[in-house]
Structure 1
Amino acid sequence: MVFVVGMRIKNDYLLVITNDTPNTALDDYARRRDIETLFGCLKSRGFNFEETHLTKPERISKLLGLLTLALSWCLRIGEWRHGQKSISIKKHGRRAKSLFRYGFDQLRTIVLNLALKEREFCWATTFLSCT
C-alpha cells in the first residue's frame, strides 16, 4: 500500500509518498532532508570528505569527529555573521548562502591568511567555547 501525505507551503504544496507510516511521513522527510544537507556539507559543498579515500573504520570515525566539530564551528560563525550582516535573499525567496557556507567562507579566509588574521582567528575560537 502507498500513502500520499501533503501540506500547503505558501503558494505551493509539499507531497510525500510513502509505503511506511503516513502519520510520521512529514517528520521523517524533514529529518531526511536535514541529513542530506549534513552530508552535502561534509562532501561536495564544504569539506570534500569523500576525497580522503579512507577505508579504516577507526580513521573514518576520528575524521568524522573532527568534521562534526568543524561543521558546528562553521554554523556558529555563520549564525553570528548573519546577525551582523544578513545573507541576501534571492528572487526565489531562499538565502544566497546557507549559514554553514557563510561561516565556512569566513573561517577559510581567516585560516588561509593566518599571519594577517591572527586576531580574527583568536576571536573565532571563542565560538568553540560553551562558556
Structure 2
Amino acid sequence: MRIKSNFKATRKGKTKYIKEWCRGLAISETYQLDGTFIVNEAEVYLSVSRTQKGYIYLASPVLLENVFQIYKQRWEIEKLFKALKTQGFNLENTKLTEPDKMAKLIALCAIAFVWCYKVGEWKHQKIKIRVCSNGHNEYSFFRYGLLEIKKLLNNPMAKEAKYNQKIKVL
C-alpha cells in the first residue's frame, strides 16, 4: 500500500518519519530498505521510488522485489473503479440492491470499459491524443474511446463500416 511521507516508522527502537528513512535517491531510482519497520502498529517492508514529481513510499507485509510493478497494476484497477463510478458509467447512481443483478451490471460495465479502452487505443493510433501543457494527455484511452463510441451511437447517419470497425476492436 502507498503511504504518506509524514507517517512514522520505527526500527530497532528508533522512530522517524518515512521521508527521513528514505533520503538521497536520484530521479527514477527505486530502493528497498533493509529489514522490517513498524508503521501504524503493523510490521512492513518499506520501498521508495523517486519520480519527477516527488517520492512514492510503499509498505508491504511481505518482501517483494517487484513491489512497484505490482503497485502499477493496482493503479490500473483504480482507473477502472474511477470509470465505473464517476468518469463514465456513474455506477453509484444505480438503484439496484440485489447482489446477483449488481454483479451482472458490474460485469457488463467492465466489458464496456474494456471496449472503450480498446477503441481509445485504436483511435490514438489514428489520431494522437493531445498532450496538455502540464505534460499529461488530454484524455485517457478509456475516455478517448468512450467519446468516440458516444459520437458514433449519437449519430444516426453513422456509416455501418465505422460502426463495424469499433466492434472489431473489441
1:116-127 correspondence to structure 2 within 5 Å: 116-119=157-160, 120-127=162-169
Structure 1: gaps (5+ residues): none
Q: How far, CA to CA, are the matches of 2:63 and 2:127 in structure 1?
A: 41
Instruction: Kindly indicate whether residue 116 of structure 2 is the aligned counterpart of residue 74 of structure 1.
Output: yes
How far 1:25 moved relative to its partner?
Answer: 4.2
Residue in 1 aligned with 2:5? none
How far 1:30 moved relative to its partner?
Answer: 2.0
Q: How far, CA to CA, are the matches of 1:78 and 1:51 in structure 2?
A: 25
Q: How far, CA to CA, are the matches of 1:41 and 1:81 in structure 2?
A: 19
How far 1:126 moved relative to its partner?
Answer: 1.6
The DSSP-based 3-state class of the residue aligned with 1:116 is coil
1:95 to 129, 137, 141: 137
Residue in 1 aligned with 2:14? none
- Percent identity over the alignment is 29
Structure 2: gaps (5+ residues): 1-37, 40-44
The normalised TM-score by structure 2 is 0.66
State how many pairs are aligned. Answer: 126
Say which structure, 1 or 2, has more relative contact order (CA 8 Å, 6+ apart).
1
Q: How far, CA to CA, are the matches of 2:60 and 2:126 in structure 1?
A: 45
Structure of higher CA gyration radius: 2
Q: How far, CA to CA, are the matches of 1:126 and 1:7 in structure 2?
A: 39
How far 1:17 moved relative to its partner?
Answer: 4.1
Q: Higher helix fraction: Structure 1 or Structure 2?
A: 1
